[in-house]
Amino acid sequence: MEQTFRVGVITSTHGLRGEVKVYPTTDDAKRFKQLKDVLLDTGREQLPMEVEHVKFFKNMVIVKFKGLDAIDDVEIFKGKDLLVTRENAVELGPDENFIADLIGLSVITDEGERLGELADVLQTGANDVYVVKTDSGKEVLLPAIRQCILDTDLEAGKITVHVLDGLLDL
């Protein structure tokens, strides 16, 4: 299982005092208000960063890191991911899972046949859509609704699904 989760991507600097604009990749951007520490993924290492303050502007989060007080200090972070550890991730409700934990699970039909592997989860607004890559290389889209997704067993590494009529028609 993943031990870190991406909560945002630094898109650019903001002003001259070391603030950065962050595009949130979390369901609730307001969670940045509770973040005290994040990891900055430089591509080579994950640097611990202390959040000094947070504010919001349009669809972006403006973050100021402690000890970085000039634009020159943060320019190199453009395009870098901000991560949180599993311990600092949002608490999940019943029947909720982190997408990162679902990717790669085997997808098995309620008839016991292997459909394929979960390749992606599309967030559409109404409900998520699971993208299953079949063993033959095709993609099957399954709505993440109770009638279709019957069980998710992370320990067994599988998702049991009921394939609704018409979903496998090409």
Question: Which residue in 131, 52, 33, 42 sits closest to 90, CA to CA?
Answer: 33
Which one-letter DSSP state was computed for residue 90? P
Same domain membership, residue 80 and residue 10: yes
Which tens digit of pLDDT belongs to each residue from 19-28? Answer: 999 999 887 8
Q: Is the pTM of this model over 0.85?
A: no
**CA–CA–CA angle 45, 48, 51 (5° rounding):** 140
Q: How confident is the model at residue 2 (pLDDT cuts 50, 70, 90)?
A: low
Which tens digit of pLDDT belongs to each residue from 70-94? Answer: 999 999 999 999 999 888 787 887 8
Per-residue pLDDT at 29: 85
Alpha-carbon gap, residue 142 to 120, rounded angstroms = 11
Does residue 76 belong to any structural domain of this protein?
Answer: yes
CATH number of the domain encompassing residue 110? 2.30.30.240
Specify which residues 56 forms β-bridges with. Answer: 61
Per-residue pLDDT at 170: 52
Same domain membership, residue 104 and residue 84: no
Same domain membership, residue 134 and residue 63: no
Same domain membership, residue 14 and residue 74: yes
Quote the domain boundaries for residue 151. 99-161
